[in-house]
Structure 1
């Protein structure tokens, strides 16, 4: 949305609030919106995302609005909840978000998230598996939660190995069922992310066949329904929460021991698995308009559109929040001074 059009929209909505709500409108006029009546539902598509990070870091404390939590197994069901109005902000894999947008969902990307280390996105096999390379997966059964970030990474890995996507062999299973299928020998490989990868390694002896970040690693996304992004009160809450989310991630990066202990307790996973996932991750937030990020997301959209899995192709630059760049940049600068 162009900045002039957005400004006009904000003015109209703020004016409407002033006329109908009186005190709330006066608060806006003073530049300090009253957010006490606002509830922000935070969506988390894994065991180590925003929910646990905000709690462990203490950034969920003292907000001028109420926070509620909505946890999911992966991004696709989270996005469906967001689309239905049950989630106000979330962070996670880009693929599920881009898929939802291609299917008509109105979502705005607030920021990008880049993994500075190897991360835990991987193709896993059993310890006794004879499979050694991606090419060895030809004719083999693979478990994968479809339309997750790892779906895109795995599809690219198959391309690189000269293998086609076989819908009869690549089974759409959630993280729990996928791990069970691998352990019980019902599939030959399991494609997943941390801390699920770490849990599979530490508790079930799984080994990594291919780290998927080495294949392709587009930034993940912080996102919100466009309706919330354009609503004055909800937007004010999202701006504040975005700053807290960035600080929470910085705390996670800088306190691996404390984070491992906290996430093990909060997510009820083993400490050794929590420590493994923490040791190979360091995530940084970047402005959503960053050229490399937009280019990567655009290539992903084109990949799925050309493959017939997206019904339409769209310009990613049209769904990023340009004005949130200032929030991301300013918070990163503050963190750089304190670290």
Structure 2
């Protein structure tokens, strides 16, 4: 494997070996090497097929090496990792990043800010991952917070990265709920996480993987699931149009590589989670929460429902700051992706019209749960949450530690940690919810049902 990687590097970074001290830009200018600068977010794990996983697997370098073999043209790839989409947009505006991946709100801001500069002007060319209901963005509070609904944050401070997908979800949720008096502090995710832990803010609204990570680390509990909005949220890929025009073969290679990564993730989600965890520093259990079966839909196609969602985001972006009008329909360009699909003998239209998650567990997706035992390289699919609790009890009785267990939220379908869920017993069955508010909505409509925590549900599932 090391020899294979070295061979790719010798082709894609050929000149770097001879002029190790020069910059990528000067390297390209002096040696005729085509520069490819990729901006990505290693910890925004539903962009991994255009970032972390793509880079770790070397798919882009391999595709470019194939072009080098055919044409003799050499390519130098540089990866730039950021915490949010905003700095990627800044670098694209400065014409220093060619291709970038980010969330829905940041992509629209990207298009708005770059459209006046012909060399920086961008277009959306693919989707990395999406959730049809909006579950990729969430609001969390401290574990001991008395807040049980989003309305309880009125009069408090909430951390968010202004202009991000997480911030957009917060703005929309507050507006829909008629909630006022929330002071939003514009902070990077890791700063906001520290502010929440120290008590400087009372809530944190962020995109994946931050909510799941903090809950997994017992530093937060989930207060609001973005799926309550029932509006699609997505991440995708933008490219500078001038670069794509000058180097269409690079964009085609990138999209082919993204499809390689997407196929790998959907075929081997647990292995993909291991690779992403190793590259990003995130716990594999958290990566697999979002990128496992029934989590994020990893589908590259630009679906009409997602484009409509982008259009509906525009008024909110105008309400939070300087946002120039953007022709969303013109901003979205799927011709390059259609060409790549055709080269693979795939039906783009059929794929675009598909609405199901490409990766799901066997059985009823509204009930199917997943058990990951410590020391195992594979997970077990369990028919429903009640049976999952029994399986966990049995494993524990035999001295086997549970590494992670995942359940679908009963109301919203969001994939969540079983041990972090709020549970309801209704007769002989147990139902998980990712928020206490969701559990209480259920009990209010089902007389005789009762709320309980995970340990209580586990103890009663005989």
TM-score of Structure 1 vs Structure 2, range by shorter chain: 0.7 to 0.9
Query: Deviations 1:181-231 (Å, cap 9, x if unpaired)?
Result: 111111111111222222211224311111214323243221111221222
Matched residue, 1:100: 110
* More displaced 10-residue stretch of structure 1: 178-187 or 193-202: 193-202
Aligned pair partner of 2:185 in 171, 179, 187: 171
Runs of at least 5 residues in structure 2 that lack an aligned partner in the other structure: 1-31, 66-74, 116-120, 352-358, 360-462
Q: How many matched pairs?
A: 295
Contact 1:121 1:192 in 2 (8 A): yes
Structure-1 separation of matches of 2:227 and 2:42: 18
Question: How far does residue 83 in structure 1 lie from its aligned partner after superposition?
Answer: 1.3
Contact 2:93 2:113 in 1 (8 A): no
Contact 2:136 2:233 in 1 (8 A): no
The answer to whether residue 160 in structure 2 is matched with residue 147 in structure 1 is no
Contact 2:262 2:299 in 1 (8 A): yes
Matched residue, 2:330: 318
Structure-1 separation of matches of 2:156 and 2:256: 45
Structure-2 separation of matches of 1:174 and 1:256: 28
Flag the 1:228–1:219 CA change in 2: closer, same or farther, 3 A: same
Partner SS for 1:70: strand
- Moved segments of 4+, more than 6 Å: none
Aligned pair partner of 1:296 in 309, 315, 321: 309
Matched residue, 2:243: 228
Aligned pair partner of 1:272 in 282, 285, 305: 285
Partner SS for 1:221: strand
Question: How far does residue 113 in structure 1 lie from its aligned partner after superposition?
Answer: 4.0
Structure-1 separation of matches of 2:314 and 2:192: 26
Contact 1:56 1:259 in 2 (8 A): no
Relative contact order (alpha carbons < 8 A, sep ≥ 6): 1 or 2 greater?
1
Matched residue, 2:275: 262
Matched residue, 1:85: 95
Structure-2 separation of matches of 1:46 and 1:207: 23
Question: How far does residue 334 in structure 1 lie from its aligned partner after superposition?
Answer: 7.6
Aligned pair partner of 2:195 in 172, 181, 185: 181
Query: Deviations 1:265-314 (Å, cap 9, x if unpaired)?
Result: 11122233333333333321113xx4322222112113323x26244322
Contact 1:73 1:175 in 2 (8 A): yes
Structure-2 separation of matches of 1:185 and 1:262: 34
Aligned pair partner of 1:42 in 38, 63, 67: 38
Rg bigger for which structure? 2
Question: How far does residue 97 in structure 1 lie from its aligned partner after superposition?
Answer: 2.1
Question: How far does residue 329 in structure 1 lie from its aligned partner after superposition?
Answer: 4.2
Contact 2:139 2:222 in 1 (8 A): yes
Flag the 1:146–1:236 CA change in 2: closer, same or farther, 3 A: same
Structure-2 separation of matches of 1:311 and 1:51: 27
Structure-1 separation of matches of 2:109 and 2:126: 17
Structure-2 separation of matches of 1:151 and 1:46: 19
Matched residue, 1:12: none
Structure-2 separation of matches of 1:334 and 1:285: 13
Matched residue, 2:52: 52
Partner SS for 2:300: strand
Runs of at least 5 residues in structure 1 that lack an aligned partner in the other structure: 1-35
Flag the 1:162–1:97 CA change in 2: closer, same or farther, 3 A: same
Structure-1 separation of matches of 2:260 and 2:337: 15
Contact 1:91 1:221 in 2 (8 A): yes
Flag the 1:136–1:46 CA change in 2: closer, same or farther, 3 A: farther
Aligned pair partner of 1:208 in 222, 235, 239: 222
Structure-1 separation of matches of 2:105 and 2:181: 17
Aligned pair partner of 1:121 in 107, 125, 137: 137
Contact 2:54 2:261 in 1 (8 A): yes
Matched residue, 1:22: none
The answer to whether residue 264 in structure 2 is matched with residue 248 in structure 1 is no
Structure-2 separation of matches of 1:276 and 1:311: 34
Query: Deviations 1:44-82 (Å, cap 9, x if unpaired)?
Result: 134233332113444134223332101101011111111
Partner SS for 2:179: coil
TM-score (norm 1): 0.79
Question: How far does residue 133 in structure 1 lie from its aligned partner after superposition?
Answer: 1.2
